[in-house]
Amino acid sequence: MTDQDKLLLVRFITRMGMYIPERNKSNIISFVYGYEIGRNGECSFTKLLIEHMENKYSIPHSSASWIGQIHFYAEKKKSSWESTFRQISLEIIGSEENGGLNQEMQDTIKTWIHSLIGRIEAQGNPWFNQWWVDEWKTVVMTKKNWFKNMWTPQEFKIIQAITKEVSNNNVFMIVPKEPLLSLSEKFRHLEKQ
């Protein structure tokens, strides 16, 4: 898998609406297979998915292929297939054994997270809803070194604090709750420096 393959997949994971008409299992599968076919076997992403699910999560490859492996793991962690696919894909793309993320890939992920933080507004935001929570839980991987290394220590500390609030379901009641609002404000202040 080349850096160009990884960059396209990072863009796909963070901005699926630009690549498929609706974010669902069938469209994601079609996109991945279509991309690999278009690359004439030069992109081995599904092979990496299968190996990752076998090696890291001990989920064997079966006749259901990587699709079934993702399904099994999604059920186990009580998550949607789509979110699990995106999370596992980022794990694979970001791992050092697969070459890690170059600056453009990091910038793509960081831009998406900046936009998520930008939706935390005192007056509310139409995109600050359960979709936002799912996005945060999918893309923000504070336990991964490659993710931590993308941020300044101050930014990462705020991202960890937001993640804690999301994990504790202390996110919103129509509009964001404190301390989420003050964490968002701190992050915006860092951007201006």
Q: Read off the pLDDT of residues 140-170 as tens digits, 9 standing for 90 and up.
A: 999 999 999 999 999 999 999 999 999 988 7
Confidence (pLDDT) at 128: 85
pLDDT at 127: 84
Q: What is the pLDDT of residues 100-145, one digit of tens each?
A: 999 999 999 999 999 999 999 888 888 888 889 999 999 999 999 9
CA distance 140 to 148: 10
Q: What is the pLDDT of residue 71?
A: 96
Average pLDDT of the chain is: 93
Q: Both tokens of residue 78?
A: 């009580």
Please check whether residue 106 is in contact with residue 150, taking contact to mean a CB–CB distance below 8 angstroms. Answer: yes
What is d(CA 117, CA 127) in angstroms, rounded to the nearest whole number?
11
Q: Give the N- to C-terminal CA distance of the chain in Å, as an integer.
A: 37
pLDDT digits (tens, 9 = 90+) for 69-97: 999 999 999 999 999 999 999 999 999 88
Question: Are 128 and 120 a contacting pair, CB within 8 Å?
Answer: yes
What is the pLDDT at residue 136?
Answer: 95
pLDDT at 173 over 70: no
pLDDT band with cut points at 50, 70 and 90 for residue 46: very high
